[in-house]
Amino acid sequence: MPAPAWVSTSSRTSPASTVDPATIEASVSTPAARLLPVDDVKVATHNVSFASSVKMTLVGNDRWKTDGGLAINWMRLTPYATSGTYTSAVFNAGFPATWMNATWTATVPTGTTVAITYRTGNTPTPDATWTAFKPLPAPGAAMTGVSQYVQFAIAETTKNVGVTPSVSDVTILYR
């Protein structure tokens, strides 16, 4: 079965604007391409085949029909990697904060995992004085430590390269 490709956009910079389905384009480096929902509305499906020698690029374009404000929230191409890690920017509380807990919203299909970890420190750039990354077993899990800075990491895995987990938000509570 050919590998699918997904393209989604957020609303434009003008909240009242709409997406013109004729202006969305998708090109992918997979044997078949499918253009799926744009702002949660399926606008078209294209099943095509390309020779393996054809190299293509994924493109999002509004053809300059608006003020040029096209925002793409996510694009997906498969096969997915079997694992990957995202490390956040360092967040500055502005004072020595007590880190309370962390919550997040994740979609974790069967055969996939999401693991959230965090570390704390008192320098703007992580160094040997920072704590090691500590696991957070579930959303709402308690955090420990008092420091000015915190950083989190998300590790994702999948056993099926056609399916991937996703994390849409992470919130850290401190006082």
Please report the pLDDT score of residue 13 as a whole number.
29
Is the confidence at residue 17, as pLDDT, over 80? no
**Is 116 in contact with 154 (CB distance < 8 Å)?**
yes
Q: In the structure, what pLDDT confidence band is assigned to residue 41 with cuts at 50, 70 and 90?
A: low
Of residues 44 and 131, more confidence is placed in 131
96 within 8 A of 106, measured Cβ to Cβ: no
Question: What's the gap between Cα 28 and its chain centre?
Answer: 19
What's the confidence (pLDDT) of residue 55?
65
**Encoded tokens for 69:** 């404000």
pLDDT score recorded for residue 53: 72
Q: Is the pLDDT assigned to residue 121 strictly greater than 50?
A: yes
Q: Is the pTM of this model over 0.75?
A: no
Question: Is 9:19 a contact under the CB 8 Å cutoff?
Answer: yes
On the 0-12 / 13-18 / 19+ scale of CB atoms within 10 A, 172 is: buried
Please answer whether residues 118 and 44 qualify as being in contact, where contact means their C-beta atoms are separated by less than 8 angstroms.
no
Q: Determine which of 8-22, 63-77, 121-135, 139-153 has the lowest per-residue pLDDT on average.
A: 8-22
Looking at residue 112, its pLDDT comes to: 96
Measure the CA–CA gap between 122 and 116, rounded to whole angstroms.
21
What pLDDT does residue 32 have?
42
Per-residue pLDDT of 135-145, as tens digits, reads 999 999 999 99
Sign of CA dihedral 136, 140, 145, 149: positive
Contacts of 21 (CB under 8 A, 6+ apart): 38, 41, 43, 44
With H, G, I as helix, E, B as strand and everything else as coil, classify residue 2: coil
> In the chain, what percentage of residues exceed pLDDT 90?
51
Q: Which residue has the tokens 């965090």?
A: 118
The answer to whether 157 and 106 are in contact (CB under 8 A) is no
